[in-house]
Chains A and B, each alone.
Chain A
């Protein structure tokens, strides 16, 4: 590990809406997104970032890693706890609550994609990272990012085509 320094708070503050958005895509649930955002910011504040790191990338990486840890621990719990069963499919829960607005449809369609596709399309199409940057954040080869991304776009296009009224 390289030496780590404190993070620029105001730069991080500016970044929080973007991080929140990424959290929403990862978690698919507003309450989880806020928890994840908070955990990300706390970890960045206490652990800092490598001096040479680009905060904009580093923060997304940290966020993603915390979420992976979280999923891992939830998997343990879900395997062991029947009480978690009602929450097993957050998308369905969200579905019930969502209005039929088209924006909600879009979010739902995104939520139904596999996690790695959500992540890829979120980083590139929503956040505007280059393939190289997204690959660094996702810790995956560029070719993998590229194929996840194109599969995600194709899957969403198929959903929207089905949903869109024919004009």
Chain B
């Protein structure tokens, strides 16, 4: 060990580090080599730093790097990823919950359903207001018939868009529940749990919230935005009953589902998501509008 104290040790480490990487210029290199000739502790230090590289090389052996088929298939088949014109690609899926390794196994590439990409303006088209609140609430409550034989590979992801009535329990929850907190949707909600994930301002100026809701059988993950006191679901994905909810009332969002919603948000978000204070202020503003 170097016994000359920390400062020199740090300098020497940087020097030796650059020496290892061949990043010293000729005169620096020769000077280090000359010192190594005579300085035993410097030689020992160099060996210790080189050992680090060797250990890293062994621990991150390239041969051991498994690339998932979902990735290689993107590159091998030559197929374009489903083109969603103008929309940003998936950022790393923002997993809202715990590990979901089991579900990832189910995500063979061909089964990933792309959420249809729309521009914000499309969501204001009258045709978009199709899904009824009852349908959605039914889904959340698990009262709709389960998709037949929904094995792991049979995940059906259904997107809804539509306006929510003011009396809808989800609309009420969207107006009141802070992000990160879970509320039980009683009554019409069929006991489903509801949890806003985050809030943001959309490029069209409306206040939007990403949310999840789930019962033991169903889960949904979506984005709703408020315009003049009216909540409209702009994107929603229903997870099929892949496995049993974990007791919290939520199925863990699959990586693909989370990515689809993240895609959507990427496409419409203005700036950064709100922090809790800004969100509380925005929720209060909304209360005034009503």
A78 to B, closest residue via Cβ: B180
Given A21-B62, A81-B180: A70 in contact with B67 (beta carbons within 8 A) = no
- The verdict on A110 contacting chain B, using a C-beta distance below 8 Å, is yes
Find chain A residues with CB under 8 A from B275 CB.
76, 79-80
In the complex, whether A12 has a CB less than 8 A from a CB of chain B is yes
Q: Check if B72 sits within 8 Å of A74, measured CB to CB.
A: no
CA of A110 to CA of B55, assembled, Å: 10
With A39-B259, A107-B59, A160-B52 already in contact, the answer to whether A73 and B94 are too (CB < 8 A) is yes
Partner of B273, one of A9, A38, A76, A106: A76
User: Is there an interface contact between B248 and A83, defined as CB atoms closer than 8 Å?
Assistant: yes
Q: How far is the CA of A35 from the CA of B21 in the complex (A)?
A: 31
Minimum CB–CB distance for A28 against chain B, Å: 12
| Residue B276 CB within 8 A of the other chain | yes
Contact for B101 among A12, A31, A74, CB less than 8 A = A31
In the assembled complex, the Cα of A31 lies from the Cα of B258 at a distance in Å of 14
Chain B neighbourhood of A121, CB < 8 A = 56
Instruction: Tell me, in angstroms, the Cα distance from A66 to B91 when the chains sit together.
Output: 6
**Is A67 among interface residues, defined by CB-CB distance under 8 A?**
yes
Is B281 an interface residue when CB atoms closer than 8 A count as contact?
Answer: no
Residues of A within 8 A of B78 (CB): 9
Contact of A70 with B49 in the complex, beta carbons under 8 Å: no
Known: A12-B75, A46-B89, A77-B180. Contact between A160 and B55, CB under 8 A?
yes
Which residues of B lie under 8 Å from residue A18 when comparing CB positions?
62, 65
B187 at the interface (CB under 8 A from A): no
Partner of B81, one of A13, A46, A70, A73: A46
Residues in A with CB closer than 8 Å to B56 are 106, 110, 121, 125-126, 156
The residues of B that contact A34 with a CB separation of less than 8 Å are 68, 70-71, 104
Partner of B92, one of A12, A39, A103, A122: A39
Assess the A69–B58 pair: CB atoms within 8 A: no
Interface residues of A in 123-155 (CB under 8 A from B): 124-126, 130-131, 146-147, 149-151, 153-154
The prevalent SS among residues of A at the interface is helix
B149 within 8 A of A: no
Please give the distance in Å from B87's CB to the nearest CB on chain A: 8
Interface 1/0s, chain B 52-89, versus A by CB < 8 A?
11011111101001111011101110101101100011
* B72 proximity list for chain A (CB < 8 A): 13, 16
Asked if A43 lies at the interface with its beta carbon under 8 angstroms from chain B, I say yes
Interface residues of B (CB under 8 A from A): 9-10, 13-14, 16-18, 20-21, 23, 45, 48-49, 51-53, 55-60, 62, 65-68, 70-72, 74-76, 78, 80-81, 83-84, 88-101, 104, 178-182, 195, 197-198, 248, 255, 259, 262, 272-273, 275-276
Chain A to chain B contacts (Cβ below 8 Å), 21 pairs: A16-B67, A17-B67, A34-B70, A38-B90, A39-B89, A41-B71, A43-B90, A46-B84, A67-B92, A69-B92, A70-B91, A104-B59, A110-B56, A121-B56, A122-B60, A146-B23, A150-B17, A151-B13, A153-B13, A154-B13, A160-B48
